[in-house]
C-alpha cells in the first residue's frame, strides 16, 4: 500500500503499483526512491510515516514530513521560521552525530513539492512511555541498566557539543532486535553556545531542567531530564506528583512500589538524586561521572522484567558503543598558500627578532598544519623506567588493587571515583582494544579536569592535572603497548624533533614548527597521494582512519593531542616532565 503525503488528500491510500495518487495526483515516491506506506504519528511539527527505499530492496525507513500547524491565522511567521529552523537543525544534528548505534541514522534531507522531508533509519520497537503503560513501573535493576545504556549515548553527543534538550520516555525507543534504548527526535537539539547566550525554551516542561526553562540549556540539562525520566519509569507516577512545590524537591521515594535495598540506595538512589538536583552546582556535570558512580558498587543482574537484555557493568560502554568519529574539533583545510605565507613571516620574525603573530600561527595549525617530512615510524629512546615487554606488563596493577596504587607520588593515590574506569582501561589495553581504550582515556581526562568537552580544557587545567593519575594513565599505555604508545613515547618523539616543553608568545612559532613535524611522525597527518610527489599536499588523518593496532607509528596513541588537543600538547608534556 502506497500512502499519499499530500496533507489535504482525502483518500491517501493507494495501490503499490501506482506512481501518482489516484485522488489528488501527487507523486507517491520521493526522489524516485522513498515511498510512504503508513502513518506513524503526527505532532505540532509534522508527520512521520513508515516507508521503504525502493532502490535498496524495499529497505524499511522513516519519512518525516515538515508540516507545522500554520493553517490557523494565529500562527505567526516568526513561529513558522522557528519551526523550520528546528526541522533543519534536526537534519544537521543527525548528520553530524554520525552513525552511533543508538541514534537513528540520517539517510536523506531534501525539499520536494514545497515540503521539507527527512528520511532516517526505522527503529522497530516500543517507546519507554508505551512500555511503561503496558508493563507498569520499571524495576531498579531495569533503571540501572537503562542508565548504563543511555549515559554512554549522552556522553557521545555531548562530546560533539550537542545538547538534546528533549529527553523523555516518548523519545527513547527500546529496539526490538537487541533491546537497546535508542535516543530519537533531535529536532530540539542544539549546539552548545556560550553561557551568556539565551536560547528559545524548547523541550517537554515536565522533564526540563530549571536552567533550560530560563533559556540557558547546558549539558547537565540533559542529565536532569534523563534523571526525571528514570524516576517516572521507576514509580509509574506523573512528574507533577513526584515533585513537591512546597519543599521545592523531588519526593520520588515515597511512590516506589517497593523501597530500594541498601545497596540500591548507595548506588542507584545516589545517582538519581544527583541527576535531578535542581541546582546545577550540585548536579553531575558529565555523563561519565554519573556512570562511574553507578558502576562503582553496583552489579545489575539479568532477568529484569522490563529489560530483557543482559546487564553490562563495564565502563567501556563509554568508549565501546561510540562509533569511530572522535569527540574533537573538525580541522577544516585552509589554503596551503595562506599557511606557507605565515611560515615565511615566522621565519622573518625569527631573523629580525620580531614578535611573531601568535594568533595567526595558532589558527594556521588548527586549520591546515602542513609538513614537508614523510611519515616514518621511529623508535624513541627510553628515558623513563617503564615495562618494555608483555611479561613486565603483567606486573601492572589489576582492577582489584588499583585503589591503593601509587605512581611515583608518595602519599597520593588515584582518584577513587575513577578506579572502576582505570580497571576497565587496563582490561581494554590488555585485550588490544586500542580504539575503545583511547576513547575511555579521553573521557577519564575530562572527568579528572572537570570538563565536559576537550575544547573546554585550558592550559591551566593541564598544569593542575593530578600527577598520580597522569602517570598512571601513561604507565598503562606504555606498559601494555610495549612502549609503542603513551604520553611518554610522544614526549620523546617531540623532544627528538627539537621540541620544547614550554612556550610563550615570543617563541610560539617554534611550537608550530615542531608540531608540523610531530603530526606526520606519529601518523596523525598523511601525504595525499599525487602523481607528482613534490606537489602532494598533506592532510589530517580522519579519526575514524586512525590505526588502532600495533602496526601504527610510535606515539600514534593516545590521541589527546590531535584536533582540538593540539594547543594543549606542550602543556601536557610539561606537566608529564614535572610529575616525573
Q: Is it the case that residue 305 has pLDDT exceeding 80? A: no
Q: Is it the case that residue 298 has pLDDT exceeding 70? A: no
Same domain membership, residue 416 and residue 397 = yes
Residue 133: pLDDT band with limits 50, 70, 90: very high
- 517 closest CA partner among 470, 580, 569: 569
Q: Phi, psi (5° rounding) for residue 242?
A: -75, -15
Residue 354 lies in a domain: no
More confident: 34 or 343: 34
Element (H, E) at 540: strand 538-540
Q: What does the alpha-carbon distance between residue 277 and residue 268 come to, in Å, rounded to a whole number?
A: 14
DSSP state of 206: G
CATH number of 137's domain:
1.10.510.10
pLDDT recorded at residue 454: 83
Residue 370: pLDDT band with limits 50, 70, 90: very low
Q: Is it the case that residue 69 has pLDDT exceeding 60? A: no
Tally the C-alpha atoms within 13 A of residue 516's C-alpha that lie toward its C-beta: 22
C-alpha cell at 321: 558503543
Same domain membership, residue 65 and residue 152 = no
- 230 closest CA partner among 293, 306, 286: 306
Residue 358 lies in a domain: no
Same domain membership, residue 109 and residue 139 = no
pLDDT recorded at residue 536: 53
The answer to whether the beta carbons of residues 205 and 222 sit under 8 Å apart is no
Question: Sign of the C-alpha dihedral, residues 94, 100, 103, 105?
Answer: positive
Q: What does the alpha-carbon distance between residue 322 and residue 417 come to, in Å, rounded to a whole number?
A: 22
Domain residues for 115? 2-121
Domain-ending residue, one of 57, 88, 121: 121
Same domain membership, residue 198 and residue 86 = no
Same domain membership, residue 104 and residue 139 = no
Could you give the residue numbers annotated as active site?
A: 166
Across the range 161-171, mean pLDDT stands at: 91
- 184 closest CA partner among 192, 194, 174: 174
Question: Who's near 19: CB < 8 A, 6+ residues apart?
Answer: 27, 28, 29
For the chain, the first-to-last Cα distance in angstroms comes to 70
Domain-ending residue, one of 121, 139, 162: 121
CATH number of 50's domain:
3.30.200.20
Residue 334 lies in a domain: no
Residue 351 lies in a domain: no
The answer to whether the beta carbons of residues 577 and 501 sit under 8 Å apart is yes
| Cβ neighbours of 520 (radius 10 Å) | 22
Same domain membership, residue 94 and residue 209 = no
Across the range 332-341, mean pLDDT stands at: 36
Across the range 233-261, mean pLDDT stands at: 94
Query: What are 45-54's contacts with CB under 8 Å, separation 24+?
Result: 45/83, 45/86, 45/87, 45/187, 46/87, 47/7, 49/3, 49/5, 50/122, 51/119, 51/122, 53/107, 53/119, 54/29
For the chain, the domain total comes to 3
Residue 326 lies in a domain: no
Same domain membership, residue 418 and residue 306 = no
Across the range 383-407, mean pLDDT stands at: 38
Q: Is it the case that residue 473 has pLDDT exceeding 80? A: yes
pLDDT recorded at residue 190: 52
Same domain membership, residue 385 and residue 246 = no
Across the range 291-308, mean pLDDT stands at: 58
Residue 212 lies in a domain: yes
Same domain membership, residue 309 and residue 165 = yes
Across the range 470-476, mean pLDDT stands at: 94
Q: Is it the case that residue 308 has pLDDT exceeding 70? A: no
Greatest alpha-carbon span in the chain: 82
Same domain membership, residue 306 and residue 188 = yes
Among the ranges given (94-103, 160-169, 425-434), the one the predictor scored with the smallest mean pLDDT: 94-103
Residue 349 lies in a domain: no
Residue 361: pLDDT band with limits 50, 70, 90: very low
Residue 260 lies in a domain: yes
Domain-ending residue, one of 69, 100, 121: 121
Out of 99-113, 450-464, 547-561, the most confident range is 547-561
Same domain membership, residue 516 and residue 400 = yes
Q: Is it the case that residue 49 has pLDDT exceeding 90? A: yes
DSSP state of 397: P
Same domain membership, residue 154 and residue 40 = no
Question: Who's near 279: CB < 8 A, 6+ residues apart?
Answer: none
Q: What does the alpha-carbon distance between residue 27 and residue 19 come to, in Å, rounded to a whole number?
A: 6
Amino acid at each position: 500500500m502506497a500512502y499519499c503525503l499530500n496533507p489535504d488528500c482525502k483518500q491517501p491510500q493507494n495501490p503499490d503499483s501506482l506512481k501518482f495518487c489516484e485522488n489528488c495526483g501527487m507523486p507517491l515516491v520521493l526522489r524516485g526512491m522513498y515511498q510512504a506506506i503508513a502513518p506513524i504519528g503526527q505532532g505540532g511539527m509534522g508527520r512521520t510515516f513508515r516507508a521503504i527505499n525502493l532502490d535498496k530492496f524495499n529497505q524499511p525507513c522513516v519519512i518525516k514530513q515538515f508540516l507545522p500547524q500554520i493553517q490557523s491565522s494565529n500562527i505567526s511567521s516568526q513561529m513558522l521560521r522557528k519551526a523550520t529552523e528546528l526541522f533543519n537543525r534536526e537534519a544537521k544534528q543527525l548528520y553530524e552525530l554520525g552513525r552511533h548505534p543508538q541514534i537513528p541514522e540520517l539517510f536523506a534531507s531534501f525539499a520536494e513539492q514545497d515540503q521539507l522531508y527527512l528520511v532516517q533509519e526505522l527503529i522497530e520497537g516500543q517507546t519507554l512511555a508505551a512500555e511503561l503503560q503496558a508493563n507498569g513501573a520499571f524495576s531498579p535493576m531495569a533503571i540501572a541498566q537503562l542508565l548504563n545504556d543511555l549515559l554512554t549515548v549522552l556522553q557521545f553527543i555531548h562530546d560533539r557539543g550537542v545538547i538534546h534538550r528533549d529527553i523523555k520516555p516518548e523519545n527513547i525507543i527500546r529496539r526490538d532486535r537487541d533491546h537497546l534504548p535508542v535516543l530519537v527526535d533531535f529536532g530540539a537539539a542544539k549546539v552548545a553556545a556560550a553561557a551568556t547566550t539565551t536560547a528559545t525554551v524548547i523541550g517537554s516542561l515536565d522533564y526540563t531542567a530549571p536552567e533550560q526553562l530560563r533559556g540557558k540549556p547546558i549539558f547537565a540539562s540533559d542529565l536532569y531530564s534523563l534523571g526525571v525520566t528514570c524516576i517516572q519509569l521507576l514509580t509509574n507516577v506523573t512528574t507533577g506528583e513526584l515533585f513537591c512545590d512546597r519543599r521545592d524537591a523531588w519526593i520520588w521515594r515515597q511512590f516506589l512500589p517497593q523501597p530500594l535495598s541498601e545497596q540500591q540506595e548507595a548506588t542507584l538512589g545516589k545517582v538519581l538524586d544527583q541527576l535531578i538536583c535542581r541546582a546545577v552546582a550540585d548536579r553531575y556535570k558529565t555523563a561519565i561521572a554519573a556512570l562511574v558512580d553507578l558502576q562503582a558498587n553496583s552489579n545489575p543482574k539479568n532477568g529484569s522484567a522490563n529489560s530483557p537484555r543482559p546487564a553490562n557493568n563495564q565502563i567501556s560502554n563509554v568508549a565501546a558503543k561510540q562509533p569511530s568519529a572522535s569527540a574533537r574539533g573538525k580541522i577544516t583545510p585552509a589554503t596551503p598558500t595562506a599557511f606557507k605565507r605565515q611560515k615565511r613571516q615566522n621565519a622573518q620574525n625569527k631573523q629580525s627578532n620580531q614578535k611573531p603573530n601568535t594568533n595567526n600561527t595558532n589558527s594556521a595549525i588548527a586549520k591546515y598544519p602542513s609538513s614537508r617530512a614523510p611519515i616514518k615510524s621511529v623508535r624513541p629512546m627510553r628515558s623513563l623506567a617503564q615495562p618494555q615487554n608483555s611479561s613486565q606488563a603483567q606486573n601492572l596493577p589489576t582492577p582489584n588493587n588499583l585503589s591503593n596504587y601509587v605512581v611515583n607520588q608518595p602519599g597520593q593515590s588515584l582518584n577513587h571515583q575513577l578506579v572502576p574506569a582505570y580497571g576497565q582501561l587496563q582490561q581494554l589495553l590488555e585485550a588490544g582494544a586500542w580504539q575503545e581504550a583511547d576513547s575511555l582515556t579521553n573521557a577519564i581526562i575530562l572527568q579528572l579536569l572537570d570538563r565536559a568537552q576537550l575544547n573546554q580544557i585550558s592550559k591551566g587545567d593541564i598544569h593542575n592535572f593530578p600527577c598520580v593519575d597522569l602517570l598512571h594513565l601513561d604507565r598503562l599505555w606504555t606498559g601494555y603497548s610495549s612502549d609503542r604508545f603513551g604520553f611518554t613515547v610522544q614526549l620523546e618523539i617531540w623532544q627528538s624533533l627539537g621540541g620544547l616543553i614550554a612556550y610563550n608568545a615570543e617563541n610560539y612559532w617554534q611550537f608550530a614548527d615542531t608540531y608540523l613535524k610531530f603530526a606526520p611522525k606519529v601518523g596523525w597527518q598523511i601525504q595525499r597521494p599525487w602523481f607528482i610527489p613534490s606537489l602532494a599536499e598533506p592532510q589530517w588523518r580522519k579519526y575514524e582512519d586512525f590505526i588502532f593496532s600495533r602496526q601504527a607509528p610510535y606515539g600514534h596513541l593516545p590521541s589527546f593531542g590531535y584536533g582540538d588537543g593540539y594547543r594543549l600538547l606542550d602543556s601536557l608534556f610539561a606537566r608529564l616532565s614535572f610529575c616525573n
